[in-house]
Amino acid sequence: MYTNISAPPDLSQQLYSHAKDVSLLKKELDSALLKIARTEFEVLMKLSLVAEYKDTDTSVHIHRIGYMAELLCLLMKQPPEFCFLMRLAAPMHDVGKLGIPDHILQKPGKYDDAERNIMNQHPAIGAKILDISNHTLFQLAAKIALSHHEKYDGSGYPYGLAGDNIPFVGRSVAIVDFYDALTMDRCYRKAFSDEEGLEMLKAQEGTHFDPDMIEVFIKHHQNH
């Protein structure tokens, strides 16, 4: 005997509804992750400001470092998106100074060997602070913090890297950090002029700094 069996529910409609739910959940998750990333960035920028105040009593330096790093990156023909990330990440380069005692950080004149050993720990401290997230920005900032005191001839720290073994981000931030620090007042000296700063950069081309980057930096500065 024939029995009327009702048709199964519309499977395609169920799948469509499920897909909508998953899409909405993904948007909410992406939004939440973006908020977390922004919060992390704001916190780290505040830490960078604290570190800078400890060292120079000014926040101007870290903002200039960001824009100068972005500009040098663009002049070196790097992708604009990457250069923008450099603007955001470079100001965090010295956040590791939070772990350095004030009597060392603010000492006028040269460090003794023990003080220098302590001071040389700040790149690794900074990288550890910044390595709180897998987000591209924070990983970039950690790489900058760890490598911006390496020198082109291998005499830098913490690892004694040389030449192109030093990450691009470390080589570029080393230049803009050095130049900007020279041309601003410090607790132990007055600012050098722009011309004196450029001469001091040029004097360390190929030893402290990447010669190709120095050439581009000086050429652009002189043309403007």
pLDDT of residue 80: 93
Domain boundaries in the chain?
Answer: 24-223
pLDDT of residue 146: 97
Is 24-223 a domain of CATH 1.10.10.10?
Answer: no
Q: In order along the chain (224 residues), what is the average pLDDT of each group of 10 residues?
A: 49 53 53 62 70 63 88 96 91 89 85 94 93 84 96 97 98 95 77 91 96 95 72
- The alpha-helical segments, DSSP class H, found in 92-187 are 102-105, 113-119, 122-130, 136-147, 168-182
SS percent in the chain: helix, strand, coil, step 5: 70, 0, 30
pLDDT of residue 3: 47
pLDDT of residue 1: 45
pLDDT tens-digit map of 47-86 = 777 666 666 545 677 888 999 999 999 999 999 999 998 9
